[in-house]
Amino acid sequence: MSMFKGVLGALVAAAVALPGLTTAATAADYKDEYKVSTVLGSPFPWGIAAEEWVKLVDERTDGRISMKVYPGTQLVQGDQTKEFTAMRQGIIDMAVGSTINWSPQVKELNLFSLPFLMPDYAALDALTQGPVGEDIFAAIEKQGVVPLAWAENGFREVTNSQKPITSPDDMAGLKMRVVGSPLFNDTFTALGANPTQMSWADAKPALTTGAVDGQENPLIIYKLAKMDTIGQDHITLWHYMADPLIFAINKRVWESFSPEDQEIVRQAAVDAGKIGIKAARAGLTEDDQSLIEEIRSLGTEVTELTPEQRQAFVDATRGVYDDWAQKIGPELVKKAEESIANR
């Protein structure tokens, strides 16, 4: 009997000493499929980033970790603002999610929605790739979700069916669809518009019927959703806020992975995020305006604000900015402003 115990102990010790064996044992407990939630699927940059993540993880784990994208936030019945909570609770395993949609649960994410904080891509990069990004990831992790990497939905521009918008006065009385965030409601109210909060699934029908006059979204969404066909004839490029995306995973799922697989999943997210960002910025950079020109060719009137015109919008929303800076956290907002100034 003592000899049997000795042999058994040696076998257990050998198994513990061999990483390959422990990884295999852990992998045997992995789910057959991990659900990845997104609002938009391919060919939107959002979906491109999510699908690339799934592909890279599958390739780099030889299929041990199998993920599937569920676009349209179908895992939460289309309610974008419930996605983060569902991931925290384990209803959703993973997500590539919007900072806007997750901001009701993580107040620090409202930083990116502060009106006219970020004037350009360099400013956006200064936040996501610097100490501000690190602070925001720490805030997310405190909520029971593990953030892994950044992607991008893009700068949000304003469109409408009524007239060109060149000043806050032009916003007066316009019925505007906005996402379900109090900060968006406050911003558009300050500009004199009548904001109506609704999901993206409800937005297109409302625009089609004229129930709302306009909306705000990145230009790539305008193009791919063919918004020129539903009366959105006027676009103003005002870069009033940007919507970074975050690759994240439920904490319990994350801790179920071996350290080796955690690194694979994280690096795959970083690599997929770079591809998603490139797709989100295509045709919208200083040296490539092809997307803007393509939209103009559809007959859409595209207005580019002068610095003086843009400043009028900045001034009109300054009260909202200051109020929300207190809610988000003055120290984080100050750090963001300094990061942008030093970009």
* CATH superfamily label, 31-154+243-281: Bacterial extracellular solute-binding protein, family 7 (3.40.190.170)
Helix or strand run (H / E) with residue 70: strand 67-70
What is the pLDDT, as a whole number, of residue 273? 98
What's the rounded Cα separation, in Å, for the pair 310 and 314? Answer: 6
What is the pLDDT, as a whole number, of residue 259? 98
What's the rounded Cα separation, in Å, for the pair 2 and 17? Answer: 22
What's the rounded Cα separation, in Å, for the pair 58 and 265? Answer: 9
What's the CATH number for 157-241+286-341?
3.40.190.170
Largest CA distance in the chain: 90
What is the pLDDT, as a whole number, of residue 1? 45
Taking only the tens of pLDDT, the chain with its 343 residues reads 444 444 444 444 444 444 444 444 455 689 999 999 999 999 999 999 999 999 999 999 999 999 999 999 999 998 888 999 999 999 999 999 999 999 999 999 999 999 999 999 999 999 999 999 999 999 999 999 999 999 999 999 999 999 999 999 999 999 999 988 899 999 999 999 999 999 888 899 999 999 999 999 999 999 999 999 999 999 999 999 999 999 999 999 999 999 999 999 999 999 999 999 999 999 999 999 999 999 999 999 999 999 999 999 999 999 999 999 999 999 999 999 999 999 9
Q: How many CA atoms lie within 13 A of 227 on its CB side?
A: 32
Close Cβ partners of 289 (under 8 Å, ≥ 6 residues apart) = 283
What is the pLDDT, as a whole number, of residue 27? 59
What is the pLDDT, as a whole number, of residue 257? 97
- For residue 43, say if its preceding peptide bond is cis, omega within 30 degrees of 0: yes
What's the angle, vertex CA 158, arms to CA 157 and CA 161, rounded to 5?
A: 145
| 174 touches 160 (CB < 8 A) | yes
What is the pLDDT, as a whole number, of residue 24? 43
What is the pLDDT, as a whole number, of residue 199? 84
Close Cβ partners of 266 (under 8 Å, ≥ 6 residues apart) = 148, 149
3-state secondary structure (DSSP) of residue 36:
strand
- pTM recorded for the entire structure: 0.90
What's the rounded Cα separation, in Å, for the pair 237 and 310? Answer: 9
What's the rounded Cα separation, in Å, for the pair 52 and 272? Answer: 5
What's the rounded Cα separation, in Å, for the pair 293 and 288? Answer: 10
Domain ranges (residues) in the chain? 31-154+243-281, 157-241+286-341
Identical fold at 31-154+243-281 and 157-241+286-341? yes
User: DSSP assignment, residue 166?
Assistant: -
| 154 touches 220 (CB < 8 A) | yes
What's the rounded Cα separation, in Å, for the pair 108 and 137? Answer: 10
